Amino acid sequence: MTGTAILWPTLALVALIFAVWFTLFVQRLGLIRRNPPKAEDFATGAAAMRYFEPVEMPANNLRNLLEMPLLFFALVPLLLITGEAGTVQVALAWTFVALRAAHSWIHIVVRRVPLRFFVYLASCAILSAMWIGFAVELAWS
């Protein structure tokens, strides 16, 4: 496995983020077409939130994809620069991305909070393992 294999799960996560953004765009556009907004619907931030409430899940998920995954995106270049993007890190990266995809699906489609929380915690544990593994490898080299 080459050191750049870590880029494939990274690209997959980027694709997931764009897919959620596209879902948000399509759902909001549909809402706007079905229920054209009035000026008061955007008079304040709270009014805009009320207007978009029927299609808020993709927006919430998109925000969520820019929180913990930020630590993933920060780690990938470090793994590449230090040459620590080995088989274990790549496997953990794919697991993290799969869990994030599952989290997005549950958040937007299934809407079961306990299941979503479990998948979220699992993804955080995987990301933590990636960072701990990186720190250990860095300390030993």
- Maximum C-alpha span of the chain: 61
Q: What is the pLDDT of residue 61?
A: 97
Q: What is the pLDDT of residue 102?
A: 98
Q: List the domains of the chain with CATH numbers.
A: 3-140 (1.20.120)
Phi, psi of 28 (to 5 degrees): -65, -40
Does the structure show a pLDDT above 90 at 23?
A: yes
Q: What is the pLDDT of residue 80?
A: 97
Q: What is the pLDDT of residue 141?
A: 83
> Other CB atoms closer than 10 Å to residue 61's CB: what's the count?
24
Give the pLDDT mean for 4-15.
98
DSSP for 99-127?
HHHHHHHIIIII--HHHHHHHHHHHHHHH
User: What whole-number distance in Å separates Cα of residue 133 and Cα of residue 89?
Assistant: 8
Its sign, for the CA torsion 62, 71, 132, 98, is positive
Does the structure show a pLDDT above 80 at 2?
A: no
Band (3; pLDDT cuts 50, 70, 90):
confident
What is the number of residues in the chain?
141
Check: CB of residue 57 under 8 Å from CB of residue 111: yes
Does the structure show a pLDDT above 80 at 94?
A: yes
